[in-house]
């Protein structure tokens, strides 16, 4: 793991070389929230532009979504998965993965405790575990809604009918990373899955009235910077409410465990460009960023992000929910993580937001003025 100081020193040393052309692009992004694929590719690939990008993204973050950091309590309720993603430790062919499934009472109890820690939202995350059919999961959702919590689901691909049932039961948001918008790469990395079905899921979720979160896995073998630029334009086009991105961390228990991992700096520039192009979106500082660099979440929170998802899973289940090695907080309790993040956010001069943290929508009037100005 690298230290935050070293990361900052490296980035500052390179910042001296940023060209006037790149500074002009960053200014354009900050003012218009628009860049072309070629312009995004140039900035994503520029080490020299990283600090200026982060500073612009931090200003836009402050202006559009404020200084509050939204905490979402993450409940990892099942490590059983029917899929076989090449990068993930929970893939069905990984015989070394330790599988568990929490029962409904335990999940509800974790949500009740999350409420007690002051989290206004819980994220129910699992592998693609079909044991949780609509009846079982809707019952859990209804019981958790009684605590007046916002509920985010992150359980993978389901039918439109199932998504409709979860929404009806009270689910507010859904996280489903597209991982990559490059269809052939997606289908190589997620054998047996289709890119068009994933895209269909995202469109169904949006039409059903969920706040929709998606994102990129950075550094997949064969992924290029122009592909990542196109990911950003895809998120802009679908008007994503949330975008969570993180570096690929090779897992030795998977077929691509020997490949190089994703780059922290490239992922940081991606976060900054996401903030510049989708100024109102909720953007988390992800756990994978901190797995690569100590204080990685602070760095990302200062580079455009405004959300953190502390773990509220208890005991040994944290360790068993192993997408990649080196996961942080596996020996910590939910209370540890709550205090840890509260202190760290305050130390940055930010504050823990107390509302449910739905996506900020500018008023229609404001949007009209802007559209009028553009016309
Ligand atoms: N490294 C980093 N992120 C991973 N994910 C799965 N496996 C890995 C890995 N090895 C991410 C995927 C998935 C999310 C739940 O975790 O992007 O959507
Ligand atoms: Fe299963 Fe999700 Fe891991 Fe793919 S990324 S193997 S769907 S848990
Ligand atoms: Fe878990 Fe810091 S967030 S201990």
Which ligand 1 atom sits closest to the C-alpha of 250?
Answer: 10
Q: Is the CB of residue 189 below 6 angstroms from any atom belonging to ligand 2?
A: no
Q: Please, which pLDDT band fits residue 1 given cuts at 50, 70 and 90?
A: low
pLDDT tens track for 35-71:
999 999 999 999 999 999 999 999 999 999 999 999 9
Q: Which residue, judged by its Cα, is nearest atom 4 of ligand 3?
A: 337
Starting from the CA of residue 330, give the closest ligand: 3
Q: Which residue, judged by its Cα, is nearest atom 4 of ligand 2?
A: 85
Sketch out the chain's domains with CATH numbers: 4-9+35-357 (3.20.20.70)
Compute, in angstroms, the gap from residue 328 CA to the centroid of ligand 2.
19
Compute, in angstroms, the gap from residue 330 CA to the centroid of ligand 2.
19
The predicted pLDDT at position 362 comes to 60
Ligand 1 pocket, CB under 6 A = 87-88, 177, 179, 217, 246, 248-249, 251, 288, 323-324
Q: Which residue, judged by its Cα, is nearest atom 3 of ligand 1?
A: 248
Q: Which residue, judged by its Cα, is nearest atom 16 of ligand 1?
A: 323
Q: Please, which pLDDT band fits residue 276 given cuts at 50, 70 and 90?
A: very high
* Residue in 88, 156, 255 to alter for ligand 1 test, most ligand atoms within 8 A of Cβ: 88
Starting from the CA of residue 286, give the closest ligand: 1
Secondary structure string (H, E, C) spanning the chain: CECHHHHHHHHHHHHCCCCHHHHHHHHHHHHHCCCCHHHHHHHHCCCCCHHHHHHHHHHHHHHHHCCEEEEEEEEEEECCCCCCCCCCCCCCCCCCCCCCECCHHHHHHHHHHHHHCCCCEEEEEECCCCCCCHHHHHHHHHHHHCCCCEEEEECCCCCHHHHHHHHHHCCCEEECCCECCCHHHHHHHCCCCCHHHHHHHHHHHHHCCCEEEECEEECCCCCCHHHHHHHHHHHHHHCCCEECCEECCCCCCCCCCCCCCCCHHHHHHHHHHHHHHCCCCECECCHHHHHHECCHHHHHHCCCCCEECCECCCCCHHHHCCCCCCCCCCCCCHHHHHHHHHHHHHHCCCEECCCCCCCCCCCHHHHHHHHHHHC
Give the position of tokens 């509050």: 68
Compute, in angstroms, the gap from residue 86 CA to the centroid of ligand 2.
9
pLDDT tens track for 226-269:
999 999 999 999 999 999 999 999 999 999 999 999 999 999 99
What's the pTM?
0.94
Instruction: Please give the share of the chain, as a percent, with pLDDT higher than 90.
Output: 90
The predicted pLDDT at position 198 comes to 98
Does 371 score more than 90 pLDDT?
Answer: no
Starting from the CA of residue 291, give the closest ligand: 1
Ligand 3 pocket, CB under 6 A = 310, 329, 332, 336-337, 340-341
* Residue in 90, 96, 97, 179 to alter for ligand 2 test, most ligand atoms within 8 A of Cβ: 90
Starting from the CA of residue 344, give the closest ligand: 3
The predicted pLDDT at position 368 comes to 40
pLDDT tens track for 209-218:
999 999 999 9
């Amino acid at each position: 793991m690298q230290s935050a100081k070293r990361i900052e020193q490296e980035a500052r040393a390179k910042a001296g070389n940023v060209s006037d052309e790149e500074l002009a692009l960053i200014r354009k992004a900050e003012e218009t929230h628009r860049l072309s694929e070629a312009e995004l590719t140039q900035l994503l690939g520029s080490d020299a532009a990283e600090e200026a990008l982060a500073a612009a993204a931090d200003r836009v973050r402050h202006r559009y979504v404020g200084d509050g950091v939204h905490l979402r309590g993450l409940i990892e309720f099942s490590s059983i998965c029917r899929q076989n993603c090449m990068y993930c430790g929970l893939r069905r062919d990984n015989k070394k993965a330790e599988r568990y499934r929490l029962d409904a009472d335990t999940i509800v109890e974790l949500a009740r405790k999350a409420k007690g820690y002051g989290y206004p939202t819980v994220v129910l995350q699992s592998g693609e575990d079909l044991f949780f059919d609509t009846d079982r999961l809707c019952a859990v959702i209804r019981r958790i809604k009684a605590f007046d919590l916002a509920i985010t689901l992150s359980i993978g691909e389901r039918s439109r009918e199932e998504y409709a049932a979860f929404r009806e039961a009270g689910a507010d948001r859904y996280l489903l990373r597209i991982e990559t918008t490059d269809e052939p790469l997606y289908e190589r990395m997620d054998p047996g899955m289709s890119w068009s079905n994933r895209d269909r899921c995202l469109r169904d979720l949006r039409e059903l009235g969920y706040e929709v979160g998606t994102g990129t896995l950075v550094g997949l073998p064969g992924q290029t910077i122009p592909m990542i630029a196109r990911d950003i334009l895809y998120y802009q086009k679908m008007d994503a409410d949330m975008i969570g991105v993180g570096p690929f961390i090779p897992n030795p228990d998977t077929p691509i465990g020997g490949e190089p991992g994703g780059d922290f700096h490239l992922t940081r520039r991606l976060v900054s460009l996401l903030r510049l192009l989708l100024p109102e979106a909720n953007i988390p500082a992800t756990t994978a960023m901190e797995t690569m660099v100590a204080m990685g979440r602070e760095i990302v929170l200062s580079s455009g992000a405004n959300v953190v998802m502390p773990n509220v899973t208890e005991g040994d289940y944290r360790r068993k929910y192993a997408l990649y090695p080196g996961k942080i907080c596996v020996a910590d309790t939910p209370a540890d993580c709550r205090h840890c993040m509260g202190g760290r956010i305050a130390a940055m001069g930010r504050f823990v937001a107390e509302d449910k943290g739905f996506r900020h929508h500018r008023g229609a009037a404001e949007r009209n003025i802007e559209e009028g100005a553009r016309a």
